Each structure stands twice: as structure tokens, then as C-alpha cells.
Amino acid sequence: MSRSIPYTSSPLLASRTPVWRSKLVVAAVAIGFVALAARAVYIQVVANAFYQRQGEVRFARTLPLPANRGRILDRNGLILASSVPSPSIWAIPEDVQRDEGQLKKLASLLEMPLAELKRKLEDEDKTFVWLRRQVDDPVAQQIAALGIKGIYQRKEYKRQYPEGEAAAHVVGFTNVEDIGQEGVELTFEKDLAGRAGSRRVIKDRLGQVVEAVGEEIPPVDGRDLQLSLDSKVQFFAYQKLRDAVLKNKAKAGSVVVLDSITGEVLALANYPSYVPDKRRNLSGEQLRNRALTDTFEPGSTMKPITIGMALEAGRVTPQTLIDTSPGRFSIGGFTINDTHNYGTLTVEGVIQKSSNVGALKIAQKMSPQEMWDTYSALGYGQKPQIQFPGAVTGRLRPWKTWRPVEQATMAYGYGLSASLFQMAHSYTSFAHDGEIIPVTMLKSDAPVTGTRVFSVQTARAVRKMLQMAAAPGGTGPLAQTLGYSVGGKSGTARKQIGKGYASNKFRSWFTGMAPIDLPRVIVCVMIDEPSNGQYFGGAVAAPVFSEVVQQTLRIMGVQPDMAVKPQIVTAVEESL
């Protein structure tokens, strides 16, 4: 049963609505509509640029398009460093699927404990976290196959170094951002890195690209770099250096090989070394490029330079007699000794026997300024002009401050300091018929122009003395090489400790060239603190010189200039 409502009898319903109320409602609706329309116009027309920017901030991204880093090649085109694809793994923590079994598999592939992986993912506020940078491509494929929600990959590159520790100090390495940190990688960063490109895209909150916007800027790959290094010479030099350091229980060692015609660096090796792409637990001892960064008092390897000065100045001839008796000489309160009393020697004999007394008496025939000028012309006390980081200047004090005893000790390599590289470079003046030539780490086909320091006659006279010093009866007969004539000078310098010299710590040197009449290579070897009984340069460093010279000349295709016959060395002349 239904009842009808008596509308006419209800006071509330029967009352008339005021006209102003209906108008007010209509006006309010109209005003609201106008306000919304005005707001729409403001947003879409007046403030359009602002809101577009805000939208882009939240959803638009500029994606870098990485450039492929240039390769580093040796002089024959063999790869010393190259880039390979190496994806990096990242995550949005709040979106990651927390399946225990899947996370265990992921942690195993990332080579990290499960607890560490969970720690990286535990911050729910994070929208981005790196899990592992630069994994191998097969590993990245296995991670993708797991299909874990919230785990993503980014395309990156990492460097590979086929020559490993043998060429580490030359090539150097890059960091995880592919930026050069050491060696050639650092020096030629701009050339190798190229220029990254970019593209603008719209992404959703999950990081997925929804739409590409704007113009894409393609990357410009880095250019390849060809070094003067010969990877075969480099490997052999490193191998022989390492063997010598271990055999002599030494602290460290270095070797430099120069092409004496072009000035190109064919090898530069140090031991201890490191593997450039596996640098965990790396120490400073391994990183140091000792051939360029460490300076030493070079000892007797400076005597040929002293003799060259005197010959050039006309103060002596190769046959001038020098009285070295009784094997010692006192000056300025100091006594300078030879290892033996050699009596009267010719100037050639001073080099052959490595007489300290003979060298200082020859130096006394010259003024300090004459000696300083020649040292400076040979690059001592100056930073080497080579495309490489960390090359040191060494020490050569102004000649006006020299005391007589300091001039005397400089004649045989004490009182000044130089790097192994500077020593090798200075010997180009003898190998290149009196001209010191610029050195380079890059392959060069251009003819080289040197700066004359000695006359051709002086350079050849010194080379003859170096040949005598490396022959039986000299201080370096172990430098002899089958099939090739060699010349060189050994050196043994006490290490400076504080203001004095250690009695049982030495650096052993040998610097020389071959073939002696028309030198093609200069090899300089240093062994630091040999402690297995032998410490003289002629016994410790000369054998490394011999092996490196022979192998290098064979690799270069240089024809032997001597008949191959057995050579027996019965003893090594000892001298500091």
C-alpha cells in the first residue's frame, strides 16, 4: 500500500525558492567554469614553458651515448689497450622482486655476498643504486635471463690490456668511468676519449623509454694512438728485468730501450709491476714508473760524459796519460778511492778501468761552468720533453755553488741526480755522432733533428772507449753479445741515506749501445738494491743489457756485424 505525499500541504515544499539563490548557483557555476577555463589558458598558453620544463624534469631524460675509446697500438699495429662492451647492473630498490632464491642467484653472478646485495637494496627510498659496474657480457646475459623485476642494465665499456704487466707502466689504465688515470691513457685522454653523444627521451617511473624527443647527437669515437713501443721488445725486456731482480734478490729494477737513430722509445719496463685491468690490492711500489719518476746518483755511467767534455775542450786526447797512483786522492778533507791502484792510465784506460781518481783529475782540467753547460745541454737538471706524466727533473745545482770536492765527485757520478730515462737520453749524443736527439713515445717516420753537443770525432772516440769498457779487461765484459759489437759503461752507486751513504745498499747500472760503429739501440738498465752477493753494475745489470740488446737487434732485423764465436769471460773488473 502506497501513500502519496501532499506537496501542497508541506510548508517546506510549498515555500517558494528565492530567485537570487538560483541565480547565485548559476553564477557560481559560471564563475567556476570561467576560472577553470582561465586556468587552462594560463597553463596551456601563458605558463606553458614552465610546466613543460617541470614535466621534463620529472620524466624527460638526456641519455648519454658513450663514445668508444680509441685503441692504443704498438709500432707494428698490435693492440696494447682496447675497449670491450661491459654492461653495468643497477636497480630501483623499491621495485626489486624480493624472491630469496632469485636474489641468491643474482648475488652469485655479481660475485658478492647475499648480505651485501640485500644491504644495497634495503633502502626503500632509493630510486637508483649500482649493484656492479662493468660485468662481463656473458654474466650480464645470465642476469637478464633471471628476469628479476627492478634490475636493469646500462651499456658501458671497459679496457682490456693484452700485454698485461709487461707494458703496464707505459700504457697505464682508466677508472670505472673510462677516464685515463695513469700512463698513456692519462697523457692522451682527450684524443683517446672522443666525445660522448646524447639523446632526449621521455621515461616512465620504471625507467622505461616511452618516447624519443629532440634531435639525437651521435657520439664521436676516440682516435687510435700508435706508440713507438715494440710489444715484443717490451715483453722481452720486462721478462729479463724481472728475472734479474728475482735472481739478485733486489728491491726493484728498470730498463729503457731507445732507437738511437729516430729517438723512439722501443721499451720502457719496471719491476715490480701490476696487471692494469686487475688492480685490487695495488700498492704504490707497483704503480711507480721508476724509469721516469725516480732519480739516482748515476755513478760511473757519468765518466764517459766527463771524458767527452775534456776531449771536446781539447784538454786531453784519448792517449793522454793520467797518473792515478796510489789509487786514492784527497781533496777538501775527503779521500776518493779506486778499487785498485791502476798506476798511470791513458784517458781510454780511465774509462776501461773505471778509475774515479782518473776521472776527477780530468775534470780538474775544466771549469765548473764548462761542466755545467755540457750537463745542461745533455738534459740533466731539466724535465724530459716526453709525452708522459710524472717525468722528473733530477738535480743539477748551479755551477757557482760548486766546491772543488763537488766538482771532483760529479766527474764520476756523485753530487747530481738523474732518472734512468735521462741517462739513456744523454747517451744519444754518443750514439748519434755528437747530437742529442729528442725522444718520443709515439711512432715517428719523420727525420729527426738533434742538437750538437760533441763533435763527430769526440763521439766516436768515446764510443771506442765504451767498447773497451765492455770488453774483457774492462768493467762490463758480461755485456758482450753474440754477433753484435757493443759498448757501454757500468755504474755502481751507493744509496744516499739521510745526509750520508749506506754501506750495504747500492744501485747497479749499465748503459750502452750497439752495434758500436753505427748504433741502432741504446739500452739502460738499473737494478735497485741487489742483495744476493753481487752488486757491481758489471755483474748485475750488464747481463740484462746483453740479452736485451741481442733480442732487440734481431727483432729490428739488424744484421750482425761480428763473427759469432764463443766468448769466455773469466772475471768482472770491480769498480764504483
CA-CA distance, 110 to 268, in Å (whole number)? 37
- Verify that 439 and 486 share a domain, yes or no: yes
Assess contact for 166 and 234: CB atoms under 8 A.
Answer: yes
pLDDT at 11: 63
- Verify that 361 and 436 share a domain, yes or no: yes
| 327: DSSP letter | S
Per residue in 434-464, pLDDT (tens digit) is: 999 999 999 988 788 899 999 999 999 999 9
**Residue 479 phi, psi (nearest 5):** -80, -10
- Verify that 117 and 156 share a domain, yes or no: yes
Q: Is residue 395 part of a domain?
A: yes
- Verify that 222 and 236 share a domain, yes or no: no
Q: Is residue 501 part of a domain?
A: yes
Assess contact for 233 and 266: CB atoms under 8 A.
Answer: yes
Assess contact for 336 and 407: CB atoms under 8 A.
Answer: no
- Verify that 460 and 488 share a domain, yes or no: yes
* Distances 443 to 190, 228, 429 between C-alpha atoms, Å: 18, 4, 21
pLDDT at 352 over 90: yes
CA-CA distance, 440 to 152, in Å (whole number)? 45
Work out the number of other CB atoms within 10 angstroms of the CB of residue 158.
19
- Verify that 75 and 220 share a domain, yes or no: yes
Q: Is residue 344 part of a domain?
A: yes
Q: Is residue 2 part of a domain?
A: no
CA-CA distance, 524 to 545, in Å (whole number)? 7
CA-CA distance, 299 to 418, in Å (whole number)? 10
Q: How many helices (H) and strands (E) does the chain have?
A: 22, 21
pLDDT at 346: 96
Q: How confident is the model at residue 196 (pLDDT cuts 50, 70, 90)?
A: confident
Q: Three-state DSSP class for 312?
A: helix
Q: Is residue 22 part of a domain?
A: no
Query: CATH number of the domain that 484 lies in?
Result: 3.40.710.10
Q: How many domains is the chain partitioned into structurally? A: 2
Supply the DSSP string of 449-492, one letter for each residue.
--EE-S-HHHHHHHHHHHHHHTSTTSS-GGG-BTTB--EEEEEE
Query: CATH number of the domain that 150 lies in?
Result: 3.90.1310.10
3 state SS for 91-126: ECHHHCCCCHHHHHHHHHHCCCCHHHHHHHHCCCCC
- Verify that 198 and 241 share a domain, yes or no: no
Q: Which residue is associated with the grid cell 699495429? A: 77
Mean pLDDT of the chain: 87
Q: Is residue 238 part of a domain?
A: yes
CA-CA distance, 421 to 391, in Å (whole number)? 9
Alpha helices (runs of H) in 254-367, residue ranges in sequence order: 284-287, 290-293, 303-313, 347-353, 356-363
CA-CA distance, 150 to 251, in Å (whole number)? 51
Per residue in 223-281, pLDDT (tens digit) is: 999 999 999 999 999 999 999 999 999 999 999 999 999 999 999 999 999 998 887 77
Mean pLDDT along residues 531-541: 92
Q: Is residue 407 part of a domain?
A: yes
Domain that holds residue 77: 63-226
- Verify that 127 and 220 share a domain, yes or no: yes
Per residue in 14-52, pLDDT (tens digit) is: 666 677 777 788 888 888 888 888 777 777 777 677 766
- Verify that 205 and 240 share a domain, yes or no: no
Q: Which residues are catalytic?
A: 300
Assess contact for 347 and 319: CB atoms under 8 A.
Answer: yes
Region of 530 on the Ramachandran plot (φ > 0 left; ψ -120 to 50 alpha; else beta):
beta
Q: Three-state DSSP class for 21?
A: helix
CA-CA distance, 168 to 75, in Å (whole number)? 16
pLDDT at 205: 57
Name which of 484, 485, 470 is nearest 537 in CA terms: 470
Per residue in 289-305, pLDDT (tens digit) is: 999 998 989 889 999 99
Q: In sequence order, what are the beta bridge partners of 257? A: 267, 523
Q: Is residue 41 part of a domain?
A: no
Among residues of the chain, what percentage have pLDDT more than 70?
Answer: 89
| Sequence-ordered list of residues with C-beta below 8 angstroms from that of 91, at least 6 positions apart, any chain | 120, 121, 128, 129, 131, 150, 151, 152
Mean pLDDT along residues 63-72: 82
Per residue in 465-520, pLDDT (tens digit) is: 999 999 999 999 999 999 999 999 999 888 877 777 887 889 999 999 999 999 99
Per residue in 566-576, pLDDT (tens digit) is: 554 555 565 55
pLDDT at 474: 92
- Verify that 364 and 492 share a domain, yes or no: yes
- Verify that 95 and 243 share a domain, yes or no: no
Region of 23 on the Ramachandran plot (φ > 0 left; ψ -120 to 50 alpha; else beta):
alpha
- Verify that 195 and 243 share a domain, yes or no: no
